[in-house]
Amino acid sequence: MNTKKFMARNVLLTTAIVSTLSFGFASATSANTAGTSNWTIEDASKIERTDDTTAPYIEPDFEKMAPELHVWDTWPLREKDGSIAKVNGYYVIFSLTADSDLLPGKRHDVATIRYFYSKDGKSWELGGKAFDTKQAYGSRQWAGSAMIEDGKLNLFYTATGRKGEESVTYEQRLALATGDVEANGKGISFSNFDHSIILEPEGKYYQTEEQAEAGDIGYTFRDPWFFEDPKTGKDYILFEGNSAGTPSERTLDRAYIGSEDFQSSFDFVNEDFAKLFNGAIGIAEATNDSYTEFEAMKPLLEANYVNQELERPHIVTKGNQYYLFTNTHEHKFGPDLSAPDGLYGFSSDQLTTGYEPLNDSGLVLANPENHAYQAYSWMVLPNGKVISFYNFHDLDGKNIADLGGTSPEYQMSHFGGTLAPTLKIALQNDRTKVVNEQAPGKIK
């Protein structure tokens, strides 16, 4: 199989995210007894926009945060406990970026992690590249997470491709850059980085690229997001992956469909095609104090026969509950389902098992139906604010798949490439609600 064509056709960028609220917990359950949760066809068949889950239309009348750049997947600098960090009076966010004169669809092939800093958490000043990309792993670096501990920056990222490759490839490995932090009255900067590869897919719990090339429609292993479990104090990374194995090795578990009542009346449109949808939210436990070694565990959640990419999974903790969120696109759902680009969520009282969909279906946030692609890559912060980037907007009824046939001028003028207005959501038990819209990029 032509690896370049396979990956270029099917890889979309993402990031995994975890945020934490303060709360009281019951005793923890051993990870060794945990079972992977399923997002079922029955769950996803209930997806529909409501007033509580639909974002307001974004008026295209605000300034870009960095006119010279495309800006997309974004995450804040956090303390080890997940709270938003403030260093010498500065908040910091990291973003995937590319030159703004590049066609938007090409940006993933040259993505660079840059950072911005702010005194008020909403007025952002560009700091520059997070690190020297020549010293980093991968031909380019995709999204991850950032944590400060004892004055050191721990910047987790996805090492995509290999240095010196003759053409763009889409191998994905999880990496860590640890560096020094310097903050003064003029701003904040980072230096003296050490880089490590911390995890690669092993083929037991998470699909390898070689397994995916044996007939699947895509491959993911990216977006490391650091998480300290407040129940146990143990350290983890979450990430996006796919269920292990090749399509020929994959068999239908009736639990993927849903309840017995739903199973009795359900027929696949195309079961052979549906089996190629094998998205998973992964987790791995740190095995040393420097966060350079992790042991893969069973996935937190799988969407077999449902969805192919569960992007930017993240957890917000509240009360005794873990709230697990993820992003996905409409074209990543299996042939038996129709659902929008959106932020989806699940809850459990245990970290590693027992997740049930929020709002019955999982849908937490979607764009308006007539502006279905206006924002993407949503991330829930500990305070309930949700950041995202301004994506393709005001497309005159076009599907995003049609953009390749439009002129470069059309594509450039309809791509936001900056942070979208922040949304505030309310989270109560297994229900969520959009409360209001705030300034673009506001995290505080």
Contact 258, 43 (CB under 8 A): yes
Tell me, yes or no, if 81 is annotated catalytic: no
Number of Cβ atoms within 10 Å of the Cβ of 154: 21
The DSSP line for 390-440 is: EEE---TT--GGGGGGS-HHHHHHTEEEEEPEEEEEEEETTEEEEEEEEEE
Q: Tell me the residue ranges of DSSP E strands in 243-374.
A: 278-286, 294-296, 301-304, 311-318, 321-328, 342-348, 356-357, 363-366
Query: One-letter amino acid identity for 115?
Result: Y
Query: One-letter amino acid identity for 150?
Result: D
Strands 301-304 and 294-296, by their bridges, are unpaired
- List the one residue out of 164, 155, 174 whose CA is nearest residue 113: 155
Q: How far apart are CA 193 and CA 344, in angstroms?
A: 35
- Catalytic residue of the set 42, 73, 171, 336: 73
Residue with tokens 């911005």: 116
Residue with tokens 């068999």: 251
- Catalytic residue of the set 216, 302, 311, 341: 311
Q: What angle do CA 98, 56, 408 make, to 5 degrees?
A: 35
Token pair belonging to 148: 């400060």
Q: How far apart are CA 113 and CA 77, in angstroms?
A: 13
Tell me, yes or no, if 73 is annotated catalytic: yes
Dihedral sign, CA of 403, 408, 412, 417? positive
Beta bridge partners of 282: 239
Contact 107, 114 (CB under 8 A): no
Residue 198 neighbours by CB under 8 Å, 6+ apart? 156, 174, 175, 176, 224, 237, 291, 292, 293, 294
Contact 238, 227 (CB under 8 A): yes
Residues taking part in catalysis: 73, 311
